[in-house]
Structure 1
């Protein structure tokens, strides 16, 4: 079935926050060359504004140190790696969205850790020392990068305290939040601080309790954070985790729920809502992350999430990531938009396409948006399809009538899916090599690029007629720009007549 749509001449603001923030693994990964290579790849194409990761206070970053001399304990703050990483971020046009965590070895109260790299998740032995660690770190950053710069860096207190990433109680997290937020504001009251950074477990209880605690105790709270994943319970099979997935609109419903809860509190209702992690699966060993299906699936979320959230940070930009051990192969189910060896995955293009979208939204449905920016149309379409739910698949087809922006226009289409921009499929055709030769890497990088086609559009009765067909598990972007046709200035240029082309 072909859907015929007449696009209006004007629309509403497209609330598109797709490139506001992106996630990374622990911050010490930014000391690796390949990580920096991947950051350059995403920044050249997508231009994320902020980056958020774990472990700023973990021992592999080396900030908090204690030494005993003559029976007296002295505290020393070592900012060598912090400076190196922040320099890297700023040189690549991206600012930190700082997550305060995890616990330094010398401040821990227990042995509970998470991940391959053993981030300690216990409360501090001294909340005063924890607060001093925060204030001294921020003061150093201001001295190095300037106050006007650092006050633009949002700060989130901890990561997912409602599950295994916090060994304390809810009340202990609230205490951690109080000391942390007040330490931030003591450095500069203009620095924005927020939480509670929960994932989707016991959501309403945690949010309401947190809001009421902050209101009752007059605590600083500039924005709300939470995480969203759309996967159901996992099944482990060998080296991999697999899930069934909810529809992508499951995340949109979670955002609506969060806004509904926030609206019950006048002091909270208008605050920004930042989704500081989102994805489908919450395991970095789930093959769905590498597929063309996933690009179309995530595109559906990007098309609407901005109506309810001020940012939604994809977890993560790179497969340089070690939560579940060192990656075992180039495609291993990692979270990243970029696979090892700087190979772009299909989902990379969901973010690139949305970063190019116009600021004016003219049309949106379950498979397509039409946007406009100045004198240019950007159309993004997607068609995700899980064959386990429906044994047959079908294309999604449109005929769009768009108001003309010139007598003649160029339409460029980029297509992702199937044989295009689908390097995992090429890797499978190669026999899934564990290590890549130079020739294999060259082939995979070439296979990761979208198919680009173009055509001429001629105005008819003040409109363009554009046909868009989106095959199963494909993602596409069409850009329409007016053309100043100078053909008549090329005297005698008639290759079609003389050469039959």
Structure 2
């Protein structure tokens, strides 16, 4: 299939789902949220409401006089519901009256049964002063409130067979491996999830003339040997269907024609999974493979990825899970690996009623932050089951207009912040722009999914992940107050073992229509760091990510297709996190506290780092071996 044909086919079918909410059971009814409040603020309306027990998220409806009410969809996110209890509706017009309602949902594949009482707000009330609003951030460096959860240590990837490319594509294999090594070494990535390990380019399944089936895992071994050598373990996505086993081998996706059909014979699929697991254990040992995980299929709720029914997916899951556990009960299996946070309750209910193993739960979301699916798992006895978002990103559109911009940087940090509360892993999709699903890129900056470009230059999203990964382990008490606090401007404050203090602030919205920014949403930050030891002197720096900082695309002429050597040299020189010294605000600091004032555009990220360099006695402070930048 040509890249043009694959792209047309994919874009035609990607929004066709097997999920039907029209016949939803009355038992899924949730009450309406109460105490809905709407406050006009600069450039946005701040909404808040009380939580509803059992809700995974909340759908927001906005109405304007003379217009049909609309669901707030954040510029095209695949899930309109939000998990937060406070939200900034951005992109609103000044001097306009809007009416809002909010409804609770059990999940992304459930309807709103009951809406809250409507509330109206006049945005002229939030539009007055021409001065940029100030948001006050206060951090208590002496008060540790918890430990940081490193949810970003799983990442997505293009199919791993790229590691085996040779000939005139060997450079792709080398750069792809370097990208995986960089996210491991710099971001701390421990696990990678990718499609198509069972695809026919890996030559796993062969059928003889007599109808017998044999297996060959040589290419799979070569892939996993390289991956483990880098230091990353696989999340083994059991896909796609080998042609020798497929009910309909003509049903495919992507340029490489991954087969999306159920098996013709379920026993043959189960035998494959059994042989696969036995082979992996024989090669790497059960103590190693028990630290991997096996995810059943990819996005079976989308027609473009699965030609079977919901029931057939549940059977695929059950056959796979039972096969793996029969080989060794320590092997971890999970799913449903759905798009848009769907089918989670269906799989949990099936696992409960059929006594099917479910060691972890997976789904995907693009253009929004993950929902809280733990209430659904609780209803079926899976309270302690890990929840992994094995695909997540700022936008789901291949070659879309958003991936190379600074807009994704605060989005990444907002997702990591939400995940601290109800996810165990949030895997950004993907590590590298060496990505071939709909054809290889035709230019360097093509808005690819990757955190790293072809050539392994870091995009703004990469630098956001870098700042997250290089935080300390000890979470500090902090507060955020002012116009846009907690819904636009957010904060993460941590302390390292050597006393270094990191304060990450970001200013962002999930409304993708504002990817180029909105001056009304720019803010100034007044940061006060209290509880510092007056006997210690700090070296203080500010690192920035925005349109003008740590934005590699801005260093490349807009008409560039592929750089020449001279431009490559300039781009590599520019491939750095923008960091400079910052001094406390004069006259505003105290003996045990420091104040810093700085601008924070939307979209934008800023990290203030206070590194202890010397005590007042003149003794140098010890620097931990892993202290970055």
Give the match's secondary structure for 2:262. Answer: coil
- After TM superposition, the structure 1 stretch with the greater mean CA deviation from structure 2, 141-150 or 355-364, is 355-364
- CA offset at residue 318 of structure 1? 0.6
1:424 to 2:574 alignment: no
Q: Deviation per CA, 1:162-209, whole angstroms, max 9, x where unpaired?
A: 1121110011111111110011111210111111111127x2xx2332
For the residues of structure 2 that align with 1:453 and 1:316, how far apart are their CA atoms? 29
For the residues of structure 1 that align with 2:577 and 2:451, how far apart are their CA atoms? 15
1:35 to 2:149 alignment: no
Instruction: Could you tell me which runs of 5 or more consecutive residues in structure 1 were left unpaired when the two chains were aligned.
Output: 231-249, 490-501
For the residues of structure 2 that align with 1:147 and 1:388, how far apart are their CA atoms? 50
What value does the CA root-mean-square deviation take over the aligned residues? 2.3
Give the match's secondary structure for 1:466. Answer: strand
Give the match's secondary structure for 2:200. Answer: coil
For the residues of structure 2 that align with 1:348 and 1:168, how far apart are their CA atoms? 37
Against the structure 1 CA distance between its residues 467 and 181, is the aligned structure 2 distance closer, same or farther, given a 3 Å change threshold?
same
Higher relative helix content: 1
- Provide the aligned length of Structure 1 versus Structure 2: 459
1:127 to 2:242 alignment: no
1:58/1:104 contact within 8 Å kept: yes
1:409/1:456 contact within 8 Å kept: no
Against the structure 1 CA distance between its residues 370 and 23, is the aligned structure 2 distance closer, same or farther, given a 3 Å change threshold?
same
1:224 to 2:358 alignment: no
1:417/1:474 contact within 8 Å kept: yes
- Aligned match for 1:114, one of 253, 256, 272: 253
For the residues of structure 1 that align with 2:151 and 2:467, how far apart are their CA atoms? 10
2:526/2:595 contact within 8 Å kept: no
1:194/1:222 contact within 8 Å kept: yes
2:490/2:507 contact within 8 Å kept: yes
1:105 to 2:243 alignment: yes
1:183 to 2:183 alignment: no
- Give the aligned partner of residue 531 of structure 2: 403
- Give the aligned partner of residue 572 of structure 2: 445
- CA offset at residue 448 of structure 1? 2.7
Give the match's secondary structure for 2:597. Answer: strand
Q: Deviation per CA, 1:271-319, whole angstroms, max 9, x where unpaired?
A: 1111111112112211211111111222221122221110011110111
For the residues of structure 2 that align with 1:83 and 1:121, how far apart are their CA atoms? 24
- Give the aligned partner of residue 373 of structure 1: 496
Alignment map for 1:42-53 (pairs within 5 Å): 42-53=183-194
For the residues of structure 2 that align with 1:377 and 1:487, how far apart are their CA atoms? 21
Q: Deviation per CA, 1:242-285, whole angstroms, max 9, x where unpaired?
A: xxxxxxxx424x2x2x12222222x2122111111111211221
- Aligned match for 2:150, one of 4, 17, 28: 17
- Give the aligned partner of residue 459 of structure 2: 345
For the residues of structure 2 that align with 1:396 and 1:388, how far apart are their CA atoms? 19
- After TM superposition, the structure 1 stretch with the greater mean CA deviation from structure 2, 29-38 or 342-351, is 29-38
- Give the aligned partner of residue 294 of structure 1: 408
TM-score by length of 2: 0.69
- Aligned match for 1:415, one of 541, 544, 547: 544
Instruction: Could you tell me which runs of 5 or more consecutive residues in structure 2 were left unpaired when the two chains were aligned.
Output: 1-132, 165-172, 480-485, 620-629
For the residues of structure 1 that align with 2:398 and 2:516, how far apart are their CA atoms? 22
For the residues of structure 2 that align with 1:17 and 1:126, how far apart are their CA atoms? 41
For the residues of structure 2 that align with 1:475 and 1:211, how far apart are their CA atoms? 38
Alignment map for 1:231-380 (pairs within 5 Å): 250-252=368-370, 254=371, 256=372, 258-265=373-380, 267-362=381-476, 363=478, 365=486, 366-374=489-497, 375-380=499-504
